[in-house]
């Protein structure tokens, strides 16, 4: 089931407006609230319509909640800046009036009008940016072959139990601020609370990209396939010497798979929105990495350790010159669709995983030099 357009619209609208409620309550201008909500609704509708078709499966309620909190924190950051600028302008104007009085000059400006305009503008720009330009909405519309931006948070089952009440508490404090004093510092406290509630989801969403998430998921799926065939695997392999020159080369590798007959150095090329077919130039470093790793693992061994390069294309094509490179450098090129990765990650039975591995990897067992020489580990 695809993402529901109406639900996505409401999540974007509520997330953006929730973050700006404290500053709106502080300013207490009904026309600003109308302009603010109307602008947010229009932008949310446009973004929800544009992103709806990208998802194979609707996000879970928890993912929707994290996306809403992330938007609230982003917009809340703008609101906090707006409140700071408001105070700075009012304080600076009052100081200027005092200086003018001491000098005998007549100067009676209204500091609040300019301060309100600046605070409103900054808040509105941040709210619109959070929906229109930030990657946060994409986290709720990414293809489900990718890792959720909130994957680690979703594993902590009680995490939302304090984030959502904190956001609700922020809303209630803003209401109390209106009741007691329109310019109360309670609004600043409420702004801090909403940023605290959504700060970590916002950080994870801002550092997330569909391509990177798909690459991580693809590596995990391949790891399961190779392990089903009896291979020992290492994700993002690195040497145990932190300053090793080999580590700069190993950054190209996503997975190492091995058993007693050899080692496979595996690089992934995943799909992005504008991905072209993979050319020989993009894959030319892989054979060099495999040779360098072979020399490293063979050091001190009675017989050389063979490392074979494997290039896995996920949802991408290949050019004719890549075929020539593969033939010249003995690079195995595999093409796997994203749907296959989803199937692998959903499969729990070892026998079924083994069948999938034989069907899509087209290999038999290889070798593990690590049993005798444990020099590599996963990149932390």
As a whole number of angstroms, the distance between CA 262 and CA 256 comes to: 11
Would you say residue 375 has pLDDT above 60? no
Would you say residue 379 has pLDDT above 60? no
Q: Average model confidence (pLDDT) for the chain?
A: 82
126-148 residue pLDDT tens: 888 888 888 888 888 765 556 67
Torsion region of 143: left, alpha or beta (phi above 0 gives left; psi -120 to 50 gives alpha): beta
Question: On the CB side of 269, how many CA atoms lie within 13 Å of its CA?
Answer: 23
Measured N-to-C along each axis, helices 61-102 and 111-132 cross at an angle, to the nearest 10 degrees, of 160
Q: Where in the chain is the domain with CATH 3.40.1350.10?
A: 212-378
pLDDT of residue 311: 92
Radius of gyration of the chain (CA): 28
Nearest to 77 by CA among 185, 184, 164, 203: 203
Strand 332-336: give its sheet, edge to edge: 232-235, 255-259, 262-270, 307-314, 332-336
pLDDT of residue 348: 85
Would you say residue 196 has pLDDT above 60? yes
Greater model confidence, 181 or 38:
38
Mode of pairing for the β-strands spanning 307-314 and 255-259: unpaired
291-346 residue pLDDT tens: 988 888 888 777 788 889 999 998 888 888 988 888 888 899 998 888 888 888 88
pLDDT of residue 244: 67
Backbone φ, ψ for residue 87 (5° rounding):
-60, -40
pLDDT of residue 212: 67
DSSP three-state, residue 314: strand
pTM of the model: 0.67
Residue 1 burial (C-beta neighbours within 10 Å; 0-12, 13-18, 19+): exposed
Nearest to 23 by CA among 72, 89, 67: 72
Nearest to 8 by CA among 42, 57, 59: 59
Backbone φ, ψ for residue 72 (5° rounding):
-60, -40
pLDDT band at 363 (very low <50, low <70, confident <90, very high): low
pLDDT band at 211 (very low <50, low <70, confident <90, very high): low
Measured N-to-C along each axis, helices 61-102 and 5-27 cross at an angle, to the nearest 10 degrees, of 20
Greater model confidence, 159 or 273:
159
The CATH T-level fold of domain 212-378 is: Trna Endonuclease; Chain: A, domain 1 (3.40.1350)
Say which range, 119-128, 147-156, 348-357, has the weakest mean pLDDT: 147-156
Would you say residue 364 has pLDDT above 70? no
Mean pLDDT for 58-82 is: 90
pLDDT of residue 81: 92
Sign for the CA dihedral angle at 201, 202, 205, 206 comes to negative
Contact indicator for 268, 211 with CB cutoff of 8 Å: no
Looking at the chain, the whole-number percentage of residues with pLDDT higher than 70 is: 88
The secondary structure element, H or E, covering residue 278 is none
pLDDT of residue 252: 84
Residue 75 tokens read as 């917009």
pLDDT of residue 147: 64
Mean pLDDT for 191-212 is: 87
Sign for the CA dihedral angle at 47, 50, 51, 57 comes to positive
Torsion region of 264: left, alpha or beta (phi above 0 gives left; psi -120 to 50 gives alpha): beta
Nearest to 269 by CA among 278, 258, 260: 278
Contact indicator for 364, 261 with CB cutoff of 8 Å: no
Contact indicator for 107, 97 with CB cutoff of 8 Å: yes
pLDDT of residue 365: 47
Say which range, 45-54, 83-92, 112-121, 198-207, has the weakest mean pLDDT: 45-54
pLDDT band at 65 (very low <50, low <70, confident <90, very high): very high
Mode of pairing for the β-strands spanning 307-314 and 332-336: parallel
pLDDT of residue 242: 66
Contact indicator for 267, 254 with CB cutoff of 8 Å: yes
pLDDT of residue 274: 54
pLDDT of residue 198: 93
pLDDT band at 73 (very low <50, low <70, confident <90, very high): very high
Mean pLDDT for 83-108 is: 86
Going through the chain in order, the beta strands assigned E by DSSP cover: 232-235, 237-239, 255-259, 262-270, 307-314, 332-336, 376-378
Mean pLDDT for 74-81 is: 90
Q: Which residue has the tokens 């892989």?
A: 286
241-300 residue pLDDT tens: 765 678 788 888 889 998 777 789 999 988 765 568 888 888 888 999 889 888 888 887
């Amino acid at each position: 089931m695809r993402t529901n357009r109406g639900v996505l619209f409401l999540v974007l609208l509520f997330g953006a407006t929730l973050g700006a409620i404290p500053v709106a309550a502080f300013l207490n201008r009904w026309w600003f609230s109308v302009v603010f909500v109307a602008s947010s609704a229009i932008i949310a509708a446009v973004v929800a319509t544009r992103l709806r078709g990208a998802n194979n499966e609707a996000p879970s309620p928890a993912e929707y909640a994290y996306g809403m909190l992330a938007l609230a924190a982003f917009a809340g950051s703008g609101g906090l800046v707006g409140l700071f600028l408001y105070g700075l302008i009012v304080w600076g104007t009052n100081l200027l009036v005092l200086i003018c009085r001491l000098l005998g000059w007549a100067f009676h400006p209204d500091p609040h009008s300019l301060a309100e305009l600046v605070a409103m503008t900054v808040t509105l720009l941040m709210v619109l940016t959070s929906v229109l330009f930030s990657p946060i909405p994409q986290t709720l519309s990414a293809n489900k072959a990718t890792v959720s931006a909130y994957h680690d948070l979703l594993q902590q089952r009680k995490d939302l139990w304090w984030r959502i009440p904190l956001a609700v508490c922020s809303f209630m404090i803003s209401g109390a601020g209106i009741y007691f004093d329109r310019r109360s510092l309670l609004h600043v406290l409420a702004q801090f609370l909403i940023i605290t509630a959504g700060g970590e989801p916002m950080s994870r969403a801002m550092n997330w990209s569909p391509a990177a998430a798909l690459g991580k998921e693809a590596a995990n799926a391949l790891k399961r396939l190779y392990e089903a065939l009896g291979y020992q695997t290492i994700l993002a392999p690195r040497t145990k010497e932190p300053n090793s020159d080999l580590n700069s080369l190993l950054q190209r590798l996503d997975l190492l798979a091995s058993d007693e007959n050899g080692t496979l150095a595996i690089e992934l090329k995943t799909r992005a929105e504008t991905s072209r077919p993979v050319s020989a130039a993009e894959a030319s470093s892989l054979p060099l990495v495999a040779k360098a790793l072979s020399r490293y693992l063979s050091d001190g061994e009675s017989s050389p350790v063979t490392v074979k390069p494997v290039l896995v294309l996920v949802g991408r094509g290949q050019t004719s010159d890549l075929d020539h490179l593969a033939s010249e450098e003995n690079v195995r090129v595999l093409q796997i669709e994203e749907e296959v990765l989803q199937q692998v990650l959903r499969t729990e039975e070892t026998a079924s995983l083994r069948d999938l591995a034989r069907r899509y990897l087209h290999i038999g067992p290889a070798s593990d030099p690590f049993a005798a020489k444990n020099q590599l580990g996963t990149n932390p």
